[in-house]
Structure 1
Amino acid sequence: MTGRLPLTQLRAFEAACRLGSFAAAAQEMAVTPSAVSHAIRELERMLGTVLFQRSPRKIEPTPEGQTLYRHVTRGFDQLQRGLQEITTAGPARIRVHCAPSFAAQWLSPRLGRFLGLFPAVELKLSASPDYPLFPTEEYDLSIVYGEPRQTDVVAIPLGQETVCPLCAPATASRIAAIDDLLSVPLVRSDHNRFTWPMWFDANSAIAATPAGPRFDRSFMAIAAAVNGVGVVLESTRLAERELQSGQLVAPLEGRSQSLRHVAHWMVWPKGAERKHAFRCFVTWLVEELGVPKIDFDKAAPGHRTPPG
């Protein structure tokens, strides 16, 4: 099929496929069911194939209809994204997905500064451990823990983080050497890349079997350490506020080897960087982190800045 795209027919097809009936599609489009049926018959004639199996009670897309639906929804999503990028109506928006502990411990406490600099930007922040698959209409940007799994996106490392033992000052009074860790509870963050045995190995020490509570989120493990539950092996970036306030200290600083790695990455799909709100947020974020500025013109899907 060549020539002009039959947008009216495609819209009727997409609505009928998504809603599961011609009547529901007609109601959404504010037309009659017969108009929807006629539009889809016309589309089938143009394509030379049947798109729906019809019965008195329901419609089911044929294999050809399912294939077309996948492409049509993707195309409509891209059209919607393009309209959002160029429109000047309404507030500028940025929708950010973030790893939960980075959102709670580092990002959220700083958002007041971002909104103070860019009061016209409407920010939506969602936190979950899941990795969103781009392109998606839910988010413009994702900050993830660990190297991104998706390859057809722009992926920027957010700098190295230092991981070391941290605890409340009262707990630290009992720790003068590495061996003293054997007599205190060792708090564990289940999803962290670095574990207590790895830290002991890096310090050429006999690894203790960690005896202490386990948490599946770093922010909970940090909170436990603040409240004197034990010593946590955590990122000083995530615990920055607690370290600055004196709620946590590094009891073995200068007497042990810390671990370093790139823990968090920023990921976005092609085209997201064209939005003004997106550039404002990303530029602010890298400045706050103290990592290199991003050349948006060189950032393309598949681009993956090497960790520094």
Structure 2
Amino acid sequence: MRRLPLSSLQAFEAASRTGSFRAAGEELGISPSAISHAVRKLELLMGSALFDRQSRAIRLNGAGEALLVHVSAAFDQMRQGVETVGARSGNLLRLHCAPSMATQWLMPRLRDLFAAQPGLEVRLAAGIDYPRFEHDEFDADICYGPPRQEGLVVIPLGEETITPLCTPELADRLRSIDDLRAAKLIESDNKRVRWAAWFEANGIGSQTPRGSRFDRSFMAIAAAVDGLGVALESTRLAERELANGMLVAPFSGHAQDVRYVGHFLVFPRVAMPRRAVRYFANWLIAELGLPPHKWS
């Protein structure tokens, strides 16, 4: 490895990816002959041809394909590391978030966040997988449910209230909880609190939901807005729809709602000193009305 020049590996990777010494040279800012010379030097040092050369065309052979797999992965990691270190000297926050929390709660607040912290840049990815922070792709995650990885800073984001939600027109026909027996109940398949738990909390036998089923809360909320039935959802996630009157909580004050901690802010301990992480965590906690976090 000490004898292999990085420039030759870079030339090989670019030529393999672009399929041309000329295109690789244009990308790296050197001549095609310099690319060819660098690749030839790499082949001599490794003792193996990497390309099948046919006049002006080049094509990876078996050895070249095998090497490219590892070289590409290495350069991807290097690029990511350089970008990460450079970006984190400033105000970049790489944030992963549970899809419904991102769509329903965080996105509507990004303007206020940017106004409060000029210069902050957020790169937001939404998904159901828990990032493991192994490759330093993200600074922090707002996850749904307790994190599965140990050794993280974990900040519970407070209790959420789970209650039936529907349009005002449908609410007018729901005089009592018993009326839900005949109603179309929208089920969120991946939610930790579902209709069975809500009925049990209100002393009612298990009811089989007769309505549409979705695997994300933001879709269940949208379905309720469209009048497809009654959704059992978090008032935090549906706060916009409740505020503008598109949804109402027909049994608020007349039924036992379920409260639980659904979302958590998590990040690796090595991220604690980063300015963007601390600022976002403090802003998020204040926005939710939670006690300030004690940094240690």
Cα deviation for residue 269 of structure 1 reads 6.2
**Contact 1:148–1:267 (8 Å) recurs in 2:** yes
Task: Kindly report which structure 2 residues correspond to 1:137-176, keeping only aligned pairs within 5 A, or say none.
Answer: 140-148=139-147, 156-176=155-175
Per the alignment, residue 81 of structure 1 pairs with 84
Count how many residue pairs are aligned between Structure 1 and Structure 2: 290
**Contact 2:164–2:231 (8 Å) recurs in 1:** yes
Cα deviation for residue 123 of structure 1 reads 3.8
Deviations 1:227-249 (A, max 9, x none): 54432100111122333455433
Query: 268-277 or 196-205: which moved more?
Result: 268-277
TM-score normalised by the chain length of structure 2: 0.76
Per the alignment, residue 32 of structure 1 pairs with 31
Q: Tell me: CA distance 1:66–1:155, structure 2 relative to 1, closer, same or farther (3 Å).
A: farther
**Contact 2:9–2:71 (8 Å) recurs in 1:** no
Per the alignment, residue 71 of structure 1 pairs with 74
| Letter matched to residue 165 of structure 1 | P
Per the alignment, residue 239 of structure 2 pairs with 240
SS in structure 1 of the partner of residue 287 of structure 2: helix
SS in structure 2 of the partner of residue 94 of structure 1: strand
Query: 75-84 or 134-143: which moved more?
Result: 134-143
| Letter matched to residue 59 of structure 2 | K
Identity of aligned residues (%): 46
Per the alignment, residue 304 of structure 1 pairs with none
Cα deviation for residue 196 of structure 1 reads 1.7
Gapped runs of 5+ residues in structure 1? 299-308
Cα deviation for residue 115 of structure 1 reads 2.0
SS in structure 2 of the partner of residue 164 of structure 1: strand
Structure 1 vs Structure 2 CA RMSD: 3.7
Cα deviation for residue 78 of structure 1 reads 0.7
Q: Distance in 1 between matches of 2:39 and 2:274?
A: 35
Cα deviation for residue 55 of structure 1 reads 0.5
Q: Tell me: CA distance 1:254–1:195, structure 2 relative to 1, closer, same or farther (3 Å).
A: same
Task: Kindly report which structure 2 residues correspond to 1:189-268, keeping only aligned pairs within 5 A, or say none.
Answer: 189-268=188-267
Q: Distance in 1 between matches of 2:18 and 2:289?
A: 48
**Contact 2:13–2:68 (8 Å) recurs in 1:** no
Q: Tell me: CA distance 1:290–1:76, structure 2 relative to 1, closer, same or farther (3 Å).
A: same
Query: 128-137 or 247-256: which moved more?
Result: 128-137
Q: Tell me: CA distance 1:168–1:76, structure 2 relative to 1, closer, same or farther (3 Å).
A: closer
Per the alignment, residue 16 of structure 1 pairs with 15
**Contact 1:14–1:73 (8 Å) recurs in 2:** no
Deviations 1:278-298 (A, max 9, x none): 4333321222123455566x6
**Contact 2:101–2:237 (8 Å) recurs in 1:** yes
SS in structure 1 of the partner of residue 232 of structure 2: strand
| Letter matched to residue 33 of structure 1 | P
Query: 129-138 or 250-259: which moved more?
Result: 129-138
TM-score normalised by the chain length of structure 1: 0.74
Per the alignment, residue 281 of structure 1 pairs with 280
Among 47, 50, 54, the alignment partner of 2:51 is 54
Per the alignment, residue 290 of structure 1 pairs with 289
Q: Distance in 2 between matches of 1:293 and 1:44?
A: 59
Deviations 1:175-218 (A, max 9, x none): 34432211222122343233223322343422222122334442
Q: Distance in 2 between matches of 1:270 and 1:201?
A: 40
